Amino acid sequence: MTSLPPGKGRPEPPPVAAWIRVPALVIVLPFRLLWELVVLVGRGVGWAVDALVVRPLAWLGRTLWRYLLVPLARALWWPVAMFGRYVLRPIGLGLALLLQYVLVLPLVLLYKYVLRPIGLAFGWVWFAAGRALLFLLRVLIVVPCAWIYRYGLRPLGLALLWTLRILVVVPLAWAYRWILTPLGHALRWSWFATGRVLFYLVVVPCRAVYRYVMTPLGHAVRATWRTCVAAPARWIRATFVDPIRAAGRDVRELIRRAFRPG
């Protein structure tokens, strides 16, 4: 790589750069130096606190825990363990035996020899009473109702159904099939035939009279009216009536102007 001659390889900065660089050096550089000073002071204070406060307190805590608190806890735990083993445990066992022979055993004996036989007797009595009640209900209600349904209500219902079928359903079905259905078909056919007859006897002649008689007659009457009445009336109105009305309006206007004051 060839070196460029001095003064020709690097372009010179514009004059405006000098005006920008001077305020930057005057304003930014002091704040930057102040920030670096604050950072150094902070690091020194942190190192001093760590070396003079945190590390001694940590060493003191570990020493107290290892050489004071742990031996003290072990020394205090032995009397507590001995007290629990030779005082509290015998008292607990004594209370458990006392509760077992004073409360639990009497309750078990009471349940086994008093409450359980009474409960079994009550259950047996309740079961026997239920069975007796079911037997009485079956004998007094279910069997008579079944007998009444089987030998009274069922034959009566079948008889009523057979009577209704013979006296009502069969006659109605026969009347519908052999009377109402043919009558309906006959009425429908009569209505259709009447409509067709009226159509050919009334509608078709009226339509023919309207199309071939009334329509040409109406056209002829309209043409005659226009030729003989409307055209002469328009001519008379345009020739005589409108000029006479205009002359009358002019005469009235002249008279009004003549007699108008001022």
Question: In this predicted model, what pLDDT tens digit does every residue of 104-133 receive, in sequence order?
Answer: 888 888 888 888 889 898 889 998 998 889
Q: Is the pLDDT of residue 25 over 80?
A: no
Residue 247: per-residue pLDDT:
83
Residue 211: per-residue pLDDT:
87
Please name the residues in contact with 10: beta carbons below 8 A apart, sequence gap of 6 or more.
4
Tell me the per-residue pLDDT of 204-223, one tens digit each, with 9 for 90 and over: 888 888 888 888 898 888 88
Q: Rounded to whole angstroms, how far apart are CA atoms 145 and 152?
A: 10
Tell me the per-residue pLDDT of 44-74, one tens digit each, with 9 for 90 and over: 888 888 888 888 888 888 888 888 887 887 7
Q: Is 54 exposed, middle or buried (0-12, 13-18, 19+ CB in 10 A)?
A: exposed
Q: Rounded to whole angstroms, how far apart are CA atoms 98 and 230?
A: 140
Please name the residues in contact with 9: beta carbons below 8 A apart, sequence gap of 6 or more.
3
Residue 69: per-residue pLDDT:
80
More confident residue, 17 or 41: 41
